[in-house]
Amino acid sequence: MKRNRMNKFLKIRLIITGIILTLTFSMKAQTGTDLIPNDYRADEQKPTLVMFTASWCGPCQYAKDVVFKDKDVSARLGELNLLIFDVDTPTGGKYFSSYVSAKSGIPTFLLMDKNMKVIKKKTGISSKPSDFIKFLNQL
């Protein structure tokens, strides 16, 4: 009987700990929106696309070398502030952990309104530039 109570106690404690951790991480992600300073943006009146990347990430290089150079994607990117952060640098790693779940991979893209509020998040890149345009058009 004592053992049964102890097991119930441990289960409840684990559940509560999980809830606290979940709330902590979700609050961190929500309050992290003030971490990217305004002076990183060329035009504060434009929305912003943030890309988290790494030099060793093949899909990240594909996004920059192929998708971003597509005529239509390039034109759409011209309407936005584009911020690219390498997750292996102290600054990029800090922003990545503030805005993105530790379970997310790279490349990760954040669409932000002109107040730097995250509107949409996407992890990964399609080989079709038209798919990326659809993502950008969600702003």
Q: What is the pLDDT of residues 85-132, one digit of tens each?
A: 999 999 999 999 888 877 789 999 999 999 889 999 999 999 999 999
Q: Which domain holds residue 78?
A: 35-136
Q: What is the pLDDT of residues 19-55, one digit of tens each?
A: 333 333 333 443 444 467 777 888 889 999 999 999 9
Residue 98 lies in a domain: yes
CATH of the domain at 43: 3.40.30.10
DSSP 8-state secondary structure symbol assigned to residue 115: T
CA distance linking residue 37 with residue 125, whole number of Å: 26
Report yes or no on 4 lying in a domain: no
